[in-house]
Structure 1
Amino acid sequence: MLKKYAHLLSSLIISFVYLFSLSANSTEQMWPGSEYSPSIPTFKAVLGYDVGERITNYGDMLRYFEALERAAPKQIRLFEYGRTWEGRKLIYAAIGNRDVIANLDGFADKMQKLSDPRITDKSAAKALIDQLPSSVWLGYGVHGNEISSTDAAMMTAYHLLAAPNETTNQKILKNTLVFIDPLQNPDGRSRFTSRYYATVGMQHSDDRLSAEHNEPWPSGRSNHYLFDMNRDWLAITQPETAGRIRAMNHYRPLVVIDLHEMGGDSSYYFSPAAQPFNPHMTKTQIDNMTAIGKNHGKHFDRHGFDYFTREVFDAFYPGYGDSWPIFYGASASTYEVSSSRGEIFKKKTGEMLTYRDTVQRHFVASISTAEGVADNHNKLLNDYYNYQTSAIKVGKNNKERVYILPNKRNVAGSHRLAILMAQHGVEVKQADRDFKQCGKSYQAGAYFIDTAQPKGRFVKTTFTQQVDMSSAFVKEQERRRARKLDDEIYDVTGWSLPLMFDVDVDACSKAVKVASHLVESNDKLVGKVINPDATVAYLVPWGDMAAGRFLTAALQQNITLKSADKAFTLEDNQQFTAGTLIIEKRSNNDDLAAKIIEIAKNTGAQVQGVNSSWVTQGPSFGSSHTVTMTAPKIAMAWDNPVSSLSAGNTRFVIERQFNYPVTAIRTLTLKSADLSNYQVLILPSGDYKELLGISGADNIKQWVKRGGVLITLGRATQFAAEHDIALLDVKRERAFKGKEDDKSKTAEEPEGESMVDGQLFANKSELVSASENAKESPDFVAGVLANIEVDQEHWLTAGVHKNLTAIAYGNDIYTPIKLASGKNLAWFSDAENVLASGYLWAENKKQLAYKPYLIHQPMGRGMVIAFTQEPTTRAYLDGLNVMLMNTVFRSAAHATPLK
């Protein structure tokens, strides 16, 4: 009984502390000393609760900003910059003095002029700088379950509008334009808030074990397609990212901040960032963020907030929200606050962290940032202009000044990369005539990018094959690894876009001078039908995504078509690649020609009409090596234990890049479900064994034997390869240790004994050697681009380029499959050439060499196809899409399910 009352008393004390903290931290206490005008509506007036009392949902956030605009239309304007996949409006707010807000288009126009020294000389730039306000872009909530930043955005807007006479605000509003993107991920936040409040009972729990603090799959971090949108700035696959980049390229804010949350036991992080820095950043940009960080330190000390800098969150990968802006000349950083992941959280120290605490810290950092920008008004504008000038100068002196995309092989990939770069704000040109450059000839239609332009550094960091981390940082990571300490590499170390897109690119030191036109981000790939009045068939050469999208469109329009397993030549010496689509008129309706023309137009595919089916080499149209394509029904494992990123990325690639529907099935359902309605089942990366077990694996195995196609990605291949699961006849490898002499061997403990024979160590290295595990996995790899080679004589790799680039991540390395069981269809290159871009441990290079990447194993009337790594990571490995299409569509055509 005493225990019961003690527990009740403890709960009451926690509740009292929580409620007291709310009342003690009213709006007026968020920035002590502020006096707020009653003409600007408060949280309470619009939403019915005070700042930090409740986690604001998407609809209330929108309602509050609209109320602020109605109350102060001359100081704040709202703009829509896109819609999410689920239809939610994405907005940003511009806040400043009346003159600036009244002429935002004029501000944008002047910033565009300041952005290009080729049209604005130093004298004109000085005149612009004298007229322009400085600007800052504050981005909140890119991860939907990092909740405090959106309420901090609302408080920041309220504070700037309602307290114009507060000393700091006076400085800001005098010469600075503040952009607020209050919620970058509405779909993810909506998922979080609805689930969070559904778990709350009589009182909020501070216990990290409670349902409130443990989100169900897939969590609110990601957007509708389960993308980590803080990694989408390079590939721009999601509408949220595309709209944001469009807006930022329009205004070119001088300082950009991305506000996040981290573990609840931490404090607060702000710039300067950790090592390594991207070498294409400038010292000035780093120094500017350090100066703003010092300003935060002053305010955090005043408020009594703990913080840290430099220890984590590097600035190396160019695809983050705090790194992408650097490459148009901004100074940028990420901020991270300890997360309550609810309304109250008990830290390991016993301290109670309230939601209001986290909101206040982000709010103070936001105002401090704007103040730092205001204090450095002229410097930031001058630094921005000087960045553009130096970018052009550096570009002119580059040995690889110009990158040329010949646009012969993988035309769709070259086009996709060209318009992506245009979307980034890069000047991309397409030649109108044939030309010669650096000893090579190029045809009209080739794309070229000159790095002697304001965005030249961005081109350099995304097009060059290798971007090196500093030698000191690499040396330290090797030292840590030798000591068996975790490395400090935060994210991928390789991201060369031409490699990832499987696009040929040449580099030249001289500027291209040829008649050309600028590529626009909305340019469409032009499809073409040669001989639309063909009497026999239409052929679509296989090998790029234009042909791939042609296939999915044709299947969904019930067009009957075939695909050749091998290359073939017609009697007029026209040659066609393996995988070429064959659409025969005899098998289709009379309106076939019209459909072909329309599909080609919409997909960009090149189609050749033919009047004869006579083949002189390779399989004929009626050969058994020319299979009829089917429209497969595709199922995908969804829910725990699937990696939400792998599932979302893969579903996005198939649905939005292949334009073909996928059915998501709860993973547990697969344990006993009748899958006979599906031809293809995809298991994204995940740890399936405990949930599905042997019985679930057997259910899938029987479906495969009856004619199903099972595709495993990444860690799902671990599951398939488990000896008691036996879906795939390969094994994971332990780390290769090489030969060891007797002295360095670890003494083996005899079974059943608690003591072993004594050992003599002569030096520390022998101690280290004896301490190592005899059986351990290879060292973990943060993520590099690796070269793979592709078997060119199998129907599953028809039309796939013989050399591709993939991501190698983690420490999974597999034995080759034996020929008695299947075939290795793609494998990593030799040790000297396996690394395409990034940093790979020497031992991993050796062990990864010639190990399988793509494995095919027949099973009954169906098959298992395993990717040992994930081909859909971040949906930016476009060069692997034809291979993935083959595993989905050509495999379904080759399976022989029971009717």
Structure 2
Amino acid sequence: MNRIILAFLIGFSTFLSAQTIKSPSEFFGVALGEEFHLHHQVIDYYNYLAEVAPDRVKVSQYGKTYEKRPLLLVYVSSASNLSNLENIRKEHLNNINGSSSAKKAIAWLSYNVHGNESVSTEASMLTIYKLLTENSDYLNDVVVIMDPCINPDGRDRYVTWYNQNKNEPFNVDPNSVEHHEGWLTGRPNHYMFDLNRDWAWLTQIESQQRIKLYNQWLPHIHVDFHEQGVDAPYYFAPAAEPYNEVISEFQRNFQMEIGKNHARYFDEKGWLYFTKEVFDLLYPSYGDTYPTYNGSIGMTYEQGGSGRAGLGVITSNRDTLTLKDRIAHHTTTGLSTVEMASKNAERLNTEFRKYYTRNDFSFKNYVLSGEGDKIDLLSDLLDQHEIKYIKTNEEINGKGLNFETGKTGSFKQKGDQIVITSDQTKQNLIKVLFEPSAKLTDSVTYDITAWSLPYAYGLNAFASEKPISVKGNSDSAFKSNVLTTGAYAYIADWNSMKDARFLSELIKEKIKVRYSNEPFTIEGESFHRGSLIVTKLDNSNTEFISKLEQIANKHKVKLKSVKTGFVDKGKDFGSDAVTMIKPAKVAILRGEPTSTLSFGEIWHYFEQQLGYPVSVLDTDYLSRVDLSKYDVLVLPDGSYGSFMDEKQLGSLKDWVGNGGRLIAISGAVKGLEGEKGFGIKSKKSKKDSTSVLLPYAAKQREGMKKAITGAIFKIDMDPTHPLAYGYGSSYYSLKNNEDTYTFLKSGNVGYIQKETKPLSGFAGSSIQTDLENTLVFGVENYKRGSVVYLIDNPLFRGFWENGKLLFANAIFMVP
């Protein structure tokens, strides 16, 4: 009898609470879907819910964006679950090793990773309201974690733009300006990065802060809410092929079950949807794949609309798609997801445990060696993902797959090394991030097909099929410099971004620096090309030594003090081969026709990685800018087309001819060729006349023969050229375009000769033929200046660490 009374009281209390909770429409005084809400307004609503239902809603700030907007997680569950939240979390994590009896399901819902896919955050508010009211029974067995807006900077950029440009009332005519964002859309974050491609690489502050909380929960289910083109129907799981092979049978099957549950609700309403197309589960840095590789049922849900849709728009089918429609669809799939988690809590816990107990991978260890700076950089990323490793400098002997040759054999490695074993909690993620080549069940994919971290970090690597026993005995801990005034000069290596940051700060502090164009040996120690030399003669200020010491210790750069400029081998410090580094004044071009993503990569590189001042010039007023004030101009990737007309090319050629250095990335290179351009020339591909006879249905597959879907190639490098200082005779390049160029008359720094098969990832048979004898990186001297061609983007998504020193060379080393 007491139990019946208690159940009645709990139910009655929930009923009364539901009557007092305001819906989003009631709270804002405007029907949800009739306007967009700025981020601070959304926060107000969630804080309101935490105030009126504190037993069932908890709001927690986990960080801030680059523009200082708060990042929130909202926990919603039954009163008994929320009061026991920390114990539920611990029990869930203990379930990984089978030492718990976890019973609750954990469902994490992420909204608005792309800022102009703006329905997501609006739908999140209706979703939590319904979970607290009419669907509260779902919460008895589920803890729901909601991130209402992963990308507040992008969202507010879009909402502000839309409010400034929309008609009153809004206009559904797709030609009206409210349906046409400008060059800088709301999709990316402050630095124009796509946060939905940054889960694994963690280049952005939003990703870095989120991953800490994500690893504290590792939910059973993770949903990433998106929007796609205006004319597309709704997409939900199951995903398209290819699936990565670490994805379990249960993860595949449960996606199908969730999809069928969604379909039941959509069928009742007569709403259109599609599944098993377009959106695959391969690239590891998405909001569906990264959680999947950490044991979740990771899914993307895509609503038609995005930045084009506004509050309402006419589609190509002459239907009107409204924000209210979009909210209804996302709310339905969100609630359906939580419902499925609630009904399958026990099963989710059982299968989650199984996912983490498998250990059937062929490679038991990954052994990586190389520059200590690069090892440290990789270990920082592993720490963020809570992947365990051992650093060592003992000799390691073993047998394994050589990442450079693709062949298995014996190996012996010395020096700075890092060893990662597969026998640990994150074994599935390790396989995905470190395997030399992902297994492809389908070459038609949504993103790049290669990303293996040893290539991205420029490290030698072997994958061993047998466990390797090694002790952590690395003694490479940095020992602070203590500089004396009696030295003739101070020398630093040049082989990593750490050295580039060191140089950047020296320049900002007005300390003069030289670099050697030849290898040399002095006082028993050898140095490579590019080594930095700070002489006492160049820096007469008596305080420069203390500043130099402070900066070197800050960046953990070891300096060698020498008493003479007379070298044992090589060129003396007074030789023409030892060049003064000019404090370059750098500008980046932005605006149409540049790629926002490429511009963002460069902007972030200068401000957040290199720490070097840069001016941003917009194409709208470039013609009015006196370029003689700048030493370096960077052209991001893009489709330059008519922008690079005869007048524009003439202006750039005059500037370069007077001593400027032009750096062109990927698509920008195409804008510089031709009779009126510089010396770069496209390579003509061989035509296949039979392709016109292909059946219509075979066109896409046939087109893949000429496609590169983000593949890794080993290219030859000329290490004697300043653009390649700090590198050896080869380089791992991530190729994301099919553009091919012939060799320059001179200055061919990185190139592909006969070996056109990628080390990792997909490249079609025809494009492999076209790549033979083509340029990848080059420098063309033009009168008093130079043009640097970077056909492959060395800063791609900010995660291709091995390309970042190359870009620093383009800024500081290339004459």
Q: d(CA) in 1 for partners of 2:511 and 2:60?
A: 44
SS of corresponding position for 2:710: strand
Q: CA deviation at 1:526?
A: 3.8
- Higher mean C-alpha deviation, range 257-266 or range 690-699: 690-699
Contact 1:566/1:798, CA 8 A, preserved across alignment: no
Q: CA deviation at 1:824?
A: 1.1
- Matched to 1:552, the amino acid is S
Residues 559-608 of structure 1: per-residue CA shift (max 9 Å, x gap)? 111011111111x3311010000011232232333223322232232222
Q: d(CA) in 2 for partners of 1:444 and 1:709?
A: 38
Identity of aligned residues (%): 29
Contact 1:704/1:859, CA 8 A, preserved across alignment: yes
Aligned match for 1:491, one of 418, 426, 447: 447
Contact 2:201/2:799, CA 8 A, preserved across alignment: yes
Q: CA deviation at 1:692?
A: 4.3
SS of corresponding position for 1:812: coil
SS of corresponding position for 2:628: coil
- Higher mean C-alpha deviation, range 712-721 or range 418-427: 418-427
Contact 2:516/2:577, CA 8 A, preserved across alignment: yes
Q: d(CA) in 2 for partners of 1:768 and 1:516?
A: 59
Q: d(CA) in 1 for partners of 2:486 and 2:105?
A: 62
Aligned match for 2:421, one of 444, 450, 454: 450
SS of corresponding position for 1:858: strand
Counterparts in 2 of 1:517 and 1:327: CA distance versus 1, 3 Å = farther
Aligned to 1:749: none
Q: CA deviation at 1:554?
A: 0.8
Q: d(CA) in 1 for partners of 2:517 and 2:537?
A: 21
Contact 1:670/1:700, CA 8 A, preserved across alignment: no
Q: d(CA) in 1 for partners of 2:569 and 2:233?
A: 69
Gaps of 5+ in 2: 1-14, 400-409
- Matched to 2:256, the amino acid is T
SS of corresponding position for 1:648: helix
Aligned match for 1:352, one of 300, 303, 320: 320
Aligned to 1:429: 390
Aligned match for 2:311, one of 333, 337, 343: 343
1:736 aligns with 2:736: no
Q: CA deviation at 1:768?
A: 5.4
Aligned to 1:791: 718
SS of corresponding position for 1:676: helix
Q: CA deviation at 1:378?
A: 0.5
Contact 1:530/1:607, CA 8 A, preserved across alignment: no
Aligned to 1:17: none
Aligned to 1:411: 372
Q: d(CA) in 2 for partners of 1:295 and 1:204?
A: 34
Q: CA deviation at 1:442?
A: 5.7
- TM normalised by structure 2 equals 0.92
Pairing 1:126-525 to 2, within 5 Å after superposition: 128-129=101-102, 132-161=103-132, 163=133, 166=134, 168-170=135-137, 172-339=138-305, 341-390=309-358, 393-395=359-361, 398=362, 400-406=363-369, 409-431=370-392, 446-470=417-441, 473-474=442-443, 488-516=444-472
Counterparts in 2 of 1:514 and 1:797: CA distance versus 1, 3 Å = closer
Contact 2:590/2:599, CA 8 A, preserved across alignment: yes
Q: d(CA) in 2 for partners of 1:195 and 1:174?
A: 41
Counterparts in 2 of 1:296 and 1:290: CA distance versus 1, 3 Å = same
Aligned match for 1:831, one of 730, 736, 755: 755
Q: d(CA) in 1 for partners of 2:568 and 2:116?
A: 61
Aligned to 2:735: 808
Residues 630-658 of structure 1: per-residue CA shift (max 9 Å, x gap)? 22111011111111011111221222221
Contact 2:586/2:614, CA 8 A, preserved across alignment: yes
Aligned to 2:669: 717
Counterparts in 2 of 1:829 and 1:102: CA distance versus 1, 3 Å = farther
Q: CA deviation at 1:694?
A: 1.3
Q: d(CA) in 1 for partners of 2:120 and 2:350?
A: 30
Aligned to 2:802: 879
Q: CA deviation at 1:286?
A: 1.1
Q: CA deviation at 1:243?
A: 1.6
Q: d(CA) in 1 for partners of 2:92 and 2:482?
A: 47
SS of corresponding position for 1:279: coil
Q: CA deviation at 1:241?
A: 1.1
- Higher mean C-alpha deviation, range 800-809 or range 591-600: 591-600
Contact 2:303/2:330, CA 8 A, preserved across alignment: yes
Q: d(CA) in 1 for partners of 2:474 and 2:276?
A: 41
- Higher mean C-alpha deviation, range 438-447 or range 357-366: 438-447
Counterparts in 2 of 1:543 and 1:765: CA distance versus 1, 3 Å = closer
SS of corresponding position for 1:810: coil
Aligned to 2:632: 680
Gaps of 5+ in 1: 1-33, 475-487, 739-745, 747-763, 895-899
- TM normalised by structure 1 equals 0.83
Q: d(CA) in 1 for partners of 2:189 and 2:473?
A: 36
Aligned to 2:50: 69
Pairing 1:446-845 to 2, within 5 Å after superposition: 446-470=417-441, 473-474=442-443, 488-516=444-472, 526=478, 528-529=480-481, 535-570=487-522, 572-588=523-539, 589-724=541-676, 726=677, 728-737=678-687, 767=693, 779-819=706-746, 823-832=747-756, 834-845=757-768
Contact 2:705/2:763, CA 8 A, preserved across alignment: no
1:857 aligns with 2:808: no
Contact 2:392/2:474, CA 8 A, preserved across alignment: no
SS of corresponding position for 2:500: helix
Q: CA deviation at 1:424?
A: 1.4
Contact 1:142/1:229, CA 8 A, preserved across alignment: yes
Q: d(CA) in 2 for partners of 1:93 and 1:324?
A: 21
Q: d(CA) in 1 for partners of 2:89 and 2:486?
A: 53
Q: CA deviation at 1:525?
A: 7.7
1:38 aligns with 2:5: no
Q: d(CA) in 2 for partners of 1:440 and 1:783?
A: 29
SS of corresponding position for 2:19: coil
Aligned to 1:28: none
- Higher mean C-alpha deviation, range 295-304 or range 504-513: 504-513
Counterparts in 2 of 1:149 and 1:35: CA distance versus 1, 3 Å = farther
Contact 2:114/2:226, CA 8 A, preserved across alignment: yes
Q: d(CA) in 1 for partners of 2:191 and 2:762?
A: 30
Counterparts in 2 of 1:454 and 1:103: CA distance versus 1, 3 Å = same
Q: d(CA) in 2 for partners of 1:826 and 1:629?
A: 23
- Matched to 1:452, the amino acid is D
Residues 290-337 of structure 1: per-residue CA shift (max 9 Å, x gap)? 111111111112233221101210111111010001112111110001
Residues 184-205 of structure 1: per-residue CA shift (max 9 Å, x gap)? 1111111101111111233211
- Matched to 1:305, the amino acid is W
Contact 1:536/1:612, CA 8 A, preserved across alignment: yes
Contact 1:736/1:778, CA 8 A, preserved across alignment: no
- Higher mean C-alpha deviation, range 105-114 or range 646-655: 105-114
Q: CA deviation at 1:444?
A: 7.7
Contact 1:527/1:605, CA 8 A, preserved across alignment: no
SS of corresponding position for 2:293: helix
Contact 2:391/2:417, CA 8 A, preserved across alignment: yes
Counterparts in 2 of 1:62 and 1:766: CA distance versus 1, 3 Å = closer
Contact 1:564/1:626, CA 8 A, preserved across alignment: yes
- Matched to 2:385, the amino acid is H
